[in-house]
Each structure stands twice: as structure tokens, then as C-alpha cells.
Amino acid sequence: MKPLVFMLLCCSFALYGQNQWSETDCTKAMKKLQQVEQKISSGYSLKEAEQLSADQRLLEKQLDQFCQKPVIASDPKKPKIKKTVKTKTAPDPLADIAKGPKLYVSSISVKAPYQGKKLQAWLEYYSEPKQCFGVRDSRQMVWCVEQRQQAKANFERQWQQKFALSPPE
């Protein structure tokens, strides 16, 4: 029992005593992370995907580990917490309008081309081609849309034939 407590105590001190980066290093890492995230959101090739993901995870881990209490440049031995200054915000001109009883109403409506049995039949009939997942090329998008429209037209034709041949319930 004593060795376990000792190890736990040592590990907690080791975590507490981790070196922290300087503010400038943390700022650089933050900017690099923003650049990586911007690249991810703007689009990337399949070759870049793995590297971008690895870079993002590494930067997030480093920021979490080494930038909790960045060292201020004036005294590198003594870590300090960066203080933020609260600024007064300008009064909102719409604040007076918003006063009064607060009533929030929300609704969700799902607009699907098919419903009920027809929707179930469509979902069983159509499966999107693999090359249509994550498409960024406009020619490929057009092809995918055309394939879906063609499949939809075929489905409609088959659905109409099915109900033309079957007696009404």
C-alpha cells in the first residue's frame, strides 16, 4: 500500500513541476494550430489528411500540457498566469426591445422527398456510391447528383409500377 501511495505522490509532483513554455512559444503554437485548423476546414488532399490530423493532435496536446501557465518573458524561472482585462462593452441598442417576458418557441421539421413506406423503400433501394463521399471536385459533385437523380427517377418508375399492379388496400 505504501509503495502505491509513494508512486502516486511522485507522479503528482512530476505533473505539477512540468516546465511551461514562454508566452511567445505558446502564441506561436496557437497560431500554428489555427493555421492547421484553417487548412483542414478549407480542404485538403487525401495525402495531407493524416499529417494534418497528426499535427493538430500534437499541437493541441502541447498547448494543453505546456501552456496552462505560460512563463512571462520578464522572469523565465517564475511561471505566472496571464491576466485578462475586462473591458466595458457598449450598451446594446436592441436591449430595450428584448426586455419583457422571454418565450422561446422552436420547432423541427424534416422535409424529405419520401415518407413512410416509400421512404423505407427508397432507403433500401438507393445507396450512395463510395466515390461520392467527401467530394470536393465540382465535376465529381455533378456526377454524383446526376446519379442520384437517375436513381430517383428509376425508383419512382418502379414504385408507380408496383402500385399500378397491386390492388388497393
How many domains in the chain?
Answer: 2
Residue 97 in domain: no
**Residue 156: its pLDDT value, please?**
92
Residue 77 in domain: no
Residue 92 in domain: no
**Residue 5: its pLDDT value, please?**
45
Residue 73 in domain: no
Domain holding 37, by residue range, is 11-66
The whole-angstrom separation of Cα 49 and Cα 51 is 6
- C-alpha angle with apex 139: 134 to 141, nearest 5 degrees? 40
The whole-angstrom separation of Cα 50 and Cα 56 is 10
pLDDT tens string 82-135: 566 666 666 666 665 556 556 666 666 666 777 888 888 888 888 888 888 888
**Residue 8: its pLDDT value, please?**
47
pTM exceeding 0.75 = no
Nearest-10 Cα torsion for 139, 140, 146, 150: 150
26 within 8 A of 66, measured Cβ to Cβ:
yes
The whole-angstrom separation of Cα 23 and Cα 19 is 13
Asked whether the predicted pLDDT for residue 158 surpasses 70, the reply is: yes
**Residue 151: its pLDDT value, please?**
93
Residue 36 in domain: yes
The whole-angstrom separation of Cα 61 and Cα 77 is 23
The whole-angstrom separation of Cα 125 and Cα 21 is 57
Residue 90 in domain: no
Residue 158 in domain: yes
The whole-angstrom separation of Cα 47 and Cα 33 is 19
Residue 62 in domain: yes
| Average pLDDT of the residues in 32-56 | 80
